[in-house]
Amino acid sequence: MTLMKPILQSSEGKRIFLRVPVRLWAKAFLYGRWALNVIIDDLSTTGISFFVKKTVEVPESFEVDFRLGPFSRNIRSRVLVRDRIAASGGFRIGCVFVELAEKNNNLINKFVSKYLNLSLPSLLVCLSAILLTVDACLRILAYTVNLYYSQTLLGKSFNVGRIPDSYLVFLLSYGFFSFLSFMLTDRLKDDDKRIRFMFGIFCLFIAFVFILNKNMDYLKTGLWRTNNSYILAFLSLEALLVIYAGFSIWMASRATIRISVASKIIKQQLESIQETPSPPAT
């Protein structure tokens, strides 16, 4: 489920190559010899951009060598300087690839697509919401059993303490927001999927706060000091659930930020195209 493609098309039929913000260390070579180090902060399938100080001279054509990740292979290509935009303390250099190998082009294309992909974060959030929903159902079942025994002779004879009624409200809210998060993040197909996904993260966060508070209570009451293996197993599973839910929310939040940045870039590109006057017809 990719929300955006690296190559889009405007209403005028012009192609837009999506640029994504990055931070990649790169080396520039001139006539086969190292010239300078730069940090690429903008990448697309057609080119790169980076910032240099005013004292640094950048040739019109040179070779650039960089990696998309610590375990990625080196990408090397000749580039041409397309524009030099004055910035605070220096210039932002925009370059286009000239001799980019097809395998490297596919690698960059895959990187840009992955940058805008919500598949993994959506799967993490969806699974987290399912687990929290199951946990909520088990807790509601335990509450019902406790309520039953507290109202019967069996409960009185065994002196079963009754859980406060206010807890039921929080418990039902916990289950509701967990299930709602699952419904909002499962099978995102609509045009407003990004908004639905963000609201799903919000619902998951509310459920996460509940389960986090419960685990903090377990820690404060010293329940972890018990020698009962069943209770320790339960506490361990609950702790893993908290860690996984928190990790899912963190990953999903990062993904939505990336999508928001990409949407802003596309909007800027479309506006720049609309502002550019078309050449007169001959």
Helix ranges restricted to H, 15-118: 102-115
pLDDT in tens, the chain (282 residues): 334 444 444 444 444 456 778 889 999 998 889 989 999 988 888 889 999 988 888 889 999 999 988 888 999 999 999 988 888 888 999 999 998 888 988 888 888 777 666 677 888 888 999 999 999 999 989 888 877 776 665 555 545 455 566 778 888 999 999 999 988 876 654 445 677 888 889 999 999 999 999 999 999 988 888 888 988 999 999 999 999 999 999 988 887 777 666 666 656 655 554 555 555 554
Rg (CA), the chain: 27
SS (H, E, C) 14-65: CEEECCEEEEEEEEEEECCEEEEEEEEEEECCCEEEEEEECCCCCCCEEEEE
According to the model, what pLDDT value does residue 222 have? 87
Per-residue DSSP letter, 144: H
pLDDT of residue 179: 92
Of 4, 38, 9, the closest CA to residue 24 belongs to 38
In a domain, 14, yes or no: no
State whether 126 and 139 are in the same domain: yes
Which one of 72, 90, 115 terminates a domain?
115
Examine residue 12 and state whether it is found in any structural domain, yes or no.
no
Residue 226 belongs to domain spanning: 119-270
- Tell me: do 248 and 131 sit in the same domain: yes
Do 42 and 151 lie in one domain? The reply is no
CATH code assigned at 102:
2.40.10.220
* 150 in the same domain as 265: yes
Q: How far apart are CA 234 and CA 213, in angstroms?
A: 16
Question: Do 23 and 96 have their domain in common?
Answer: yes
pLDDT for res 216? 93
Last residue of a domain, one of 83, 115, 147: 115
Whether residue 1 is contained in a domain is answered as no
54 and 180 belong to one structural domain: no
Overall size of the chain counted in residues: 282
Q: Which of 69, 93, 115 is the last residue of a domain?
A: 115
Predicted model pTM: 0.60
Q: What is the rounded distance in angstroms from the CA atom of residue 199 to the CA atom of residue 38?
A: 39
Residues 60 and 192 in one domain: no
Task: Output the pLDDT for position 8.
Answer: 42
Q: Are 29 and 62 in contact (CB under 8 A)?
A: yes
Q: Tell me, yes or no, whether 50 and 165 share the same domain.
A: no
Q: Among candidates 116, 99, 146, which has minimal Cα distance to 22?
A: 116
Give the residue from 130, 118, 218 showing the smallest Cα distance to 175: 130
What is the end-to-end Cα distance of the chain in Å, rounded?
Answer: 44
Number of domain units in the chain? 2
Same-domain status, 150 and 84? no
Query: How high is the pLDDT of residue 14?
Result: 46
222, 191 contact by CB (below 8 A): no
Give the angle 215-234-232 at the CA atoms, nearest 5°: 95
Same domain, 67 and 162: no
Looking at the domain assignment, is residue 275 inside a domain? no
Q: pLDDT at position 6, please? A: 47
The rounded distance, in Å, linking the Cα atoms of 216 and 223 is 10
75 belongs to a structural domain: yes
